[in-house]
Structure 1
Amino acid sequence: MLENKTVAFIGAGSMAESMISGMIKANKVPANRIYVTNKYNGDRLTELRERYDIHTMLQKELPYEEIDYFIMAMKPHGAEEALENLKSKIRADQVVISVLAGISTDYMESHLNEGQQVIRVMPNTSSMIQESATALSLGAYTEKQHEKDVNDLLGCMGEVFIIDEEQMDVFTGLAGSGPAYFYYLMEQMEKVGVEKGLEAKAARKIVAQTIYGAAKMVLEKDEAPVILREKVTSPNGTTASGVEALKENNGGKAISQAVYHATARSKEIREELESAHVLH
């Protein structure tokens, strides 16, 4: 039962806050069972404590023996130090979860004690409103009960997809980084609305509702986006004109390249970290 579990976030950035917010809103993990820690930034910890009524402290003060799930949410370059710190303080029945791009289960296991249970997950910032698309990949030693608990935990924040770890880079390119692509698209659409006389707030809500509605159609109608697009694109109509402009300006290529580049960067980060570990 998740209400009896204790969760500690190592790192107090935007992803940690998104996940904390989702957990509390879903009422699965009580606030008094959530700990957040970082190395130096006491002001940020105070901000999170006042906002969510959770436990906050510097890393050296964390009650390691009481924690069921450690969620690594710092910058990827701080992962090795964080894992080495955990190694001497935790038991095999405690689970280490990474939400960091490029941090593989193999990498975590190589820095922890033999048999340590690890899970790699990739949420996105929509976890703050319980609408994340989140991937989950298991380490070599993870027990089924912990898989179920973590799946339930992540389910507090949206839809969970259990995938092979080899697919994690492309998932990062699609979903981990994906919200930023849509925000960028919304920026451009909102800008045109304002240029054509709409109030900024009205333009923003119009664009957001339009994207929300389109996404909901895909999820609820269970039809491919290409079919839905063709259904609303009348010959010689306004939509056809807009879609043609997207094609002429390589809109499809731009979107594809965003995913390709984010996927490649996720792979690069992983390879850089693995290479540094081998050299070390």
Structure 2
Amino acid sequence: MTLKIYSFGGGQMVEAMLRAALKKKVITPETTGVTDISSDRVNYLTDTYHIQASQQPDWTAVENADLVILGVRPQDNWQEIMKELVAHHYQKDVLSIIAGVTVAQLSSQEDLFAITRIIPNTLTDVAMGYSGVVKNNRANQTVIEDFLNSFGKVDYIDESLLDVFTGYGVAGPNYIYNFLISFTNAGVLAGMPRQQANKLALENLRAAAAFVEQSGKHPAELLDINNSAGGVGITAQHELDKSTFSAGIENAVLAAVKRTKELGKQNKGD
């Protein structure tokens, strides 16, 4: 199924989603429209992806769209966009990536809309990672998932968990990147060439994740298997247990969640 998409806003997150969907042929340049206030942005999107971009909305394209994306900033007048959608009798799916604006707020503009709110993942270019999704009962799950699955996986969550999802799930790759840097540096410190250390770190990460998923075992069980008495593994484990490794990760996640909530309050003007 090829979807007709129209986005209000053509920022980096919208671009990343559209780029992935175009790559998977879920959408086509001819049936993908974007409006953005920046002429530079419009020219860039048109030249790069050959989509139908303009500074003013193409309401014919909007009316024919299977899915309208709200990709504007929280401080922009998204309420006016919703009113215009009503005026143009749009009654299909609306997908919002506006930070801090709830499904209830979007729905309250007019009780017509199939509303889905998402927190997109940051791994769209490799079509992996979960996007956090909240929807009302009018949302067309098939349309939404056809689009979202083009750049990752869908995780339906309670809206009250979106801040946690952002600080933990969306920021998750950052924690992994930091681990990879530290693990690679440890190999270099021990005497291994950096390129080889990085290669081994990546393969260990991929293989360990696959083993946890395929075996169904808790990671602690796998540690017990690897850590023989008086051996290399248990010696390394002893040093990790003495360090702030676990607490550092936990504190980073809690700080990220806290900051997400702070930004949400700022966006709402609290």
TM-score range normalised by the length of the shorter chain: 0.7 to 0.9
> Which deviates further from its counterpart, 204-213 or 174-183?
204-213
Identity within the alignment, %: 24
Match among 131, 134, 137 for residue 134 of structure 2:
137
Match of 1:83 in 2: 78
Q: Secondary structure at the match of 2:230?
A: coil
The Cα shift of 1:129 comes to: 0.8
Instruction: Name the CA shift for 1:51/1:209 in 2 (closer, same or farther; >3 Å).
Output: farther
Aligned ranges 1:107-256 → 2 under 5 Å: 107-110=105-108, 112-139=109-136, 142-144=137-139, 146-256=140-250
> Which deviates further from its counterpart, 82-91 or 59-68?
59-68
The Cα shift of 1:51 comes to: 3.8
- Give yes or no for the alignment of 1:26 onto 2:21: no
- Normalising by structure 2, we get a TM-score of 0.84
- Normalising by structure 1, we get a TM-score of 0.81
CA distance in 2, matches of 1:156, 1:101: 22
Q: Secondary structure at the match of 1:81?
A: coil
Instruction: Name the CA shift for 1:106/1:196 in 2 (closer, same or farther; >3 Å).
Output: same
Tell me, yes or no, if the aligned pair for 1:65 and 1:89 is still in contact at 8 Å: no
CA distance in 2, matches of 1:9, 1:197: 52
The Cα shift of 1:102 comes to: 3.1
Tell me, yes or no, if the aligned pair for 1:137 and 1:163 is still in contact at 8 Å: yes
Unaligned runs of 5+ in 2: none
Higher helix share: 1
Q: Secondary structure at the match of 1:265?
A: helix
The Cα shift of 1:61 comes to: 5.8
Unaligned runs of 5+ in 1: none
- Give yes or no for the alignment of 1:265 onto 2:259: yes
Larger radius of gyration between Structure 1 and Structure 2: 2
Instruction: Name the CA shift for 1:248/1:165 in 2 (closer, same or farther; >3 Å).
Output: same
CA distance in 2, matches of 1:37, 1:185: 39
Tell me, yes or no, if the aligned pair for 1:101 and 1:266 is still in contact at 8 Å: no
Number of aligned residues: 266
Q: Which amino acid aligns with 1:10?
A: G
Match among 68, 71, 79 for residue 70 of structure 1:
68
Instruction: Name the CA shift for 1:9/1:192 in 2 (closer, same or farther; >3 Å).
Output: farther
